[in-house]
Amino acid sequence: MTIRVREAGSITVLDVEGRVDINASEFIEVVGRVLKNNKTKILCNFENVELVDYSGLSILAIAYKNVVNHNGIMKFYKVGLHVKELFRIVHMDKLFYCHDNEEEALKYFDDKTLDSCNRPLRRRFKRLEINITAAFKPAQVTGKEVQEYSGKVLNISGAGLFIYASHLFPVRTQLKLEISLPNELVPLEMDGMVIWMADKSLQSDCYPGMGVQFIDVDSEKQKELLEFIDKNITHRSER
């Protein structure tokens, strides 16, 4: 993989070439350097990307999450149909906005529309740092007893959570989750899908761990979770 960094006004464009796979951690590093320079509008040109595999999805998810945590925006353009289909399969097409060309994408970053675009993004990723327990097991195993595992939830949002655990499942594995919220007698049951894995060399403080996105979310359960997150974020900010 090679990445060329250039500026288009206030927007940083990353011209990515090659394969986004397990050897593409440079993408995370480049995005991190851009953010350290207080550049929070990032546009990725995928015209010359040959392939994105499931390891590459984890890399994109880590970089994307870093951008969002800096109140930034990351978009993509000229994304191949096979890559778009992969985004759709793992339910990341709702996160990774893909434009047809650079001119169209740059207009999206216009200052007049940035706030309205960014506000729902921030709400989607409102995240609570926490230390609670979650039990998990694969959802699509039939004909035999399924072993259940447990781990520590290090952060959680309305869209998903990060689990620190010794036993992990591969990207795209669908899981049944039981999240033990404080002061609740019955765990919150959710369905999820593994969308990225922590990298030991890049995230040693939370390795081994996996990022899980909620899928097929029941509205009442999501409401309960969002109320819990809002309540605890509010209480922390008042201290």
Q: How many CB atoms lie within 10 A of CB 167?
A: 12
Residues in CB range of 123: below 8 A, 6 or more apart: none
Q: What is the pLDDT of residue 111?
A: 41
Q: How far is CA 213 from CA 90, 134, 199, 217, in A?
A: 9, 14, 18, 10
pLDDT value, residue 203: 67
CATH C-level class of 127-238: mainly beta
Considering the domain 2-124 in this protein, what is its CATH number? 3.30.750.24
Of the candidates 49, 76, 54, 74, the one whose C-alpha atom is nearest the C-alpha of residue 64 is: 74
**Cβ neighbours of residue 104 under 8 Å, at least 6 residues apart?**
77
Of 8, 7, 63, the closest CA to residue 30 belongs to 63
Going from the C-alpha of 61 to that of each of 78, 139, 158, 159, the distances in angstroms are: 18, 22, 16, 13
pLDDT in tens, the chain (239 residues): 999 999 999 999 999 999 999 889 999 999 999 999 999 999 999 999 999 987 888 899 889 888 988 888 999 999 998 888 888 766 677 678 899 999 989 987 754 334 433 444 444 547 789 999 999 999 976 667 789 999 999 999 888 899 999 999 987 789 999 999 998 889 999 999 887 787 776 667 788 999 888 888 888 998 899 999 989 886 555 55
**What is the pLDDT at residue 91?**
64
Q: For strand 11-20 and strand 41-52, is the pairing parallel, antiparallel, or unpaired?
A: parallel
What's this model's pTM, rounded to 2 decimal places?
0.57
Ranges of each domain in the chain: 2-124, 127-238
Alpha-carbon distances of 56 from 74, 138, 174, 215, rounded to whole Å: 16, 22, 18, 21
pLDDT score for 206 = 82
